[in-house]
């Protein structure tokens, strides 16, 4: 690899924390995030990715979720922006976003200077909790630049639809960031489906989950998958508190697309409404 190719690589960090209902307090989250972002910076990462609803936890019920909901420019955002500025690390975090339309299951990307560069509202709501608490977003492809990378955002269930990932690939997303709250017994999603999504749409996917014990707890399995469908890094059997590092190199996108030219060989005129 020559010097120009090395310059294309971006080092990212994925945080797999332990979920606990008692950790839904804003100040505690910001304290833990500050420590994690500092560790990410020490490890050479320029982007830190956290799970779905990382600021509050998931499945808290309507009353508690409503109590914790904040606007996109609230005190939580101020705290994350200060951490990003202090550590020099861009941060993706999730929280219940309060708007005039209701509460959204949202993620926000704050750059290393502390500016909000992207905000995504989960478009595909899953199950009774999501549909009873959240209002679905109506904009699928949200992107921002992190260094040389075009970063796109989805949340959890969104990635289980091939159309969502393909839309990002066609729009030029290099790294698709997917904060999630994947519980057992759905390990198949992380282990099989996510690599398939990365391979068939030939982009990087960072899938970042919680961990908790028990048969229905969050299964962890956070991972970064390359455009060839192979893991660049994964948590393996690691549990809570894992900080996973991976290199994302745009050169790998071109290589994968030359070997398996799915995007080039598409025939959308044949697909009808499935385009």
Six-digit token string for 102: 């209701």
Which of 14, 156, 219, 235 does the annotation list as catalytic? 156
The packing angle between helices 26-42 and 75-87, to 10°, is: 20
Determine the 3-state secondary structure of 238 from DSSP. coil
In the block, residue with structure tokens 């008692």: 22
**How large is the average pLDDT for residues 160-186?**
97
52 is catalytic: yes
Distance CA 260, CA 251 (A): 15
Give the domains, in start order, of the chain with CATH numbers.
Answer: 11-274 (3.60.110.10)
Decide if pLDDT at 127 tops 70: yes
Residues of the chain with pLDDT > 70, as a percent, come to 95
49: Cβ contacts below 8 Å, ≥ 6 apart: 12, 13, 14, 15, 92, 177, 179, 206, 208
Active-site option among 8, 52, 160, 247:
52
CB 159 within 8 Å of CB 123: no
For residues 185-192, average pLDDT: 97
Bigger pLDDT: 4 vs 220: 220
Each residue's pLDDT tens digit, 45-59: 999 999 999 999 998
Q: In whole numbers, what is the pLDDT of the chain averaged over residues?
A: 93
145 is catalytic: no
Q: What are phi and psi of 8, to 5 degrees?
A: -75, -20
Residue 239 neighbours by CB distance under 10 Å: 13
* SS3 state at 83: helix
Q: Which residues contact 73 (CB under 8 A, 6 or more apart)?
A: 116
Q: Of 122, 160, 219, 235, which residue is the catalytic one?
A: 122
Tell me the pTM.
Answer: 0.95
Tell me, rounded to whole angstroms, the distance of Cα 29 from its chain centroid: 17
| 88 in Cβ contact with 41 (< 8 Å) | yes
Taken as a whole, the chain contains a residue count of 275
């Amino acid at each position: 690899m020559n010097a120009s190719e090395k310059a294309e690589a971006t080092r990212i960090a994925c945080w797999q924390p332990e979920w606990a209902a008692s950790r839904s307090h804003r100040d505690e989250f910001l304290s833990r995030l500050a420590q994690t972002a500092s560790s990410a910076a020490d490890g050479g990462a320029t982007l830190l990715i956290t799970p779905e609803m990382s600021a509050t936890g998931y499945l808290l019920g309507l009353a508690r979720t409503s109590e914790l909901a904040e606007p996109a420019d609230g005190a939580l955002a101020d705290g994350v922006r200060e951490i990003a500025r202090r550590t020099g690390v861009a941060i993706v975090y999730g929280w219940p976003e309060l708007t005039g339309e209701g509460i959204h299951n949202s993620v926000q990307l704050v750059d290393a200077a502390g500016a909000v560069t992207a905000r995504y509202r989960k478009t595909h709501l899953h199950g009774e909790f999501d549909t009873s608490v959240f209002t679905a977003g109506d904009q699928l492809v949200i992107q921002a630049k992190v260094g040389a990378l075009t970063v796109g955002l989805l949340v959890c269930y969104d990635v289980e639809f091939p159309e969502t990932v393909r839309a990002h690939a066609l729009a030029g997303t290099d790294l698709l960031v997917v904060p999630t709250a994947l519980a057992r017994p759905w390990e198949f999603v992380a282990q099989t489906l996510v690599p398939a999504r990365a391979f068939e749409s030939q982009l990087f996917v960072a899938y970042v989950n919680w961990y908790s014990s028990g048969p229905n707890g969050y299964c962890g399995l956070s991972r970064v998958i390359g455009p060839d469908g192979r893991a660049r890094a994964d948590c393996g059997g690691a549990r809570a508190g894992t900080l996973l590092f991976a290199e994302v190199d745009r050169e790998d996108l071109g290589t994968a697309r030359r070997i398996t030219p799915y995007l080039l060989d598409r025939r959308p005129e044949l697909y009808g409404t499935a385009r």
